[in-house]
Amino acid sequence: MKFKSVFDIIGPVMIGPSSSHTAGAARIGRVARDLFGRQPKWAKIHLYGSFAETYKGHSTDVAIVGGLLDYDTFDERIKTSFEEAEKLGMSFEFIPETGHVDHPNTARIVIGDERSEMSLMGISIGGGKIEITELNGFPLRLSGNHPAILVVHEDRSGCIANVANCLYKYDINIGHMEVSRKEKGHMALMVIEIDQNVDRAILDELSELPNITQVTRIAD
């Protein structure tokens, strides 16, 4: 077996007790916060499989809330994330589920405020690594290990080429890209993992392209 770095063997710097149930859970929460774009006012956290069975003992609960507060895996404030969330006025609820899922460490996080709400499903695959498998009903595969741009757009010809050409103009390399849609001819989602963070001005330019509805980024 080959490893890209020593961190693939020893895992991330993190608050324990578990890389999959604690560090991975914190990363799922933090990606949800990044995609939402601001501090949510409330959160409903549905837990499946092993997450549902052991979330209190393995600190999955405090880790997800810590991620929603934008805490990294090594942030000591994860231990007191419940209290910190209360100070910020964020309410949260944990809902253990019994339904079948493809991976035992699965969480569906629904967050929102007075402006909007968002639903995300993520899995912790071990060693602190995660995958986001669904966003607002769109199936996707997002690792959270690299900067990424998410583009909601109308399902029209030329959208993918326009976005790719814009990134090419600024010499931004695409490491991974996929497109999903709920129904032909309606809304679609581009997920683009890139090699470097992008400036707000580039995101604004992408937003002005024809048939683009929303552009969101996840920074490294």
Give how far Cα 89 sits from Cα of 69, 81, 94, Å.
11, 12, 17
Give the three-state DSSP class for 170. coil
Residue 19 is predicted with a pLDDT of: 60
Give the three-state DSSP class for 88. helix
Query: What are the extents of the domains in the chain?
Result: 10-142, 148-218
From the list 166, 189, 185, the residue with the least C-alpha distance to 177 is: 189
Residue 167 is predicted with a pLDDT of: 95
Segment 11-22 shows an average pLDDT of 59
Architecture of domain 10-142 in CATH? 2-Layer Sandwich (3.30)
pLDDT of 49 over the 70 cut: yes
Q: How far is CA 129 from the centre of its chain?
A: 12
Classify domain 148-218 at the CATH topology level: Alpha-Beta Plaits (3.30.70)
Render pLDDT for 179-192 as a digit per residue (tens, 0 to 9): 988 888 789 999 99
> Could you tell me the pLDDT band of residue 20, with boundaries at 50, 70 and 90?
low
Residue 18 is predicted with a pLDDT of: 59
Whole-number Å distance between alpha carbons of 193 and 208: 20
Instruction: Give the predicted TM-score (pTM) of the model.
Output: 0.79
Render pLDDT for 154-170 as a digit per residue (tens, 0 to 9): 999 999 999 999 999 99
* Residue matched to tokens 């710097």: 13
Give how far Cα 158 sits from Cα of 161, 187, 194, Å.
5, 14, 20
**Which range has the worst mean pLDDT, 65-69, 120-124, 156-160, 213-217?**
213-217
pLDDT of 17 over the 60 cut: no
pLDDT of 131 over the 60 cut: yes
Residue 12 is predicted with a pLDDT of: 52
Segment 47-54 shows an average pLDDT of 92
**Which range has the worst mean pLDDT, 13-22, 65-74, 76-85, 198-207?**
13-22
Residue 10 is predicted with a pLDDT of: 43
Question: What tokens appear for 102 in the block?
Answer: 């493809």
Residue 111 is predicted with a pLDDT of: 97
Residue 7 is predicted with a pLDDT of: 43
Give how far Cα 122 sits from Cα of 131, 188, 197, Å.
6, 19, 22
Residue 40 is predicted with a pLDDT of: 97
pLDDT of 26 over the 60 cut: yes
From the list 103, 159, 93, the residue with the least C-alpha distance to 133 is: 103
Contacts of 25 (CB under 8 A, 6+ apart): 51, 60, 63, 64, 67, 105, 107, 124
Residue 146 is predicted with a pLDDT of: 83
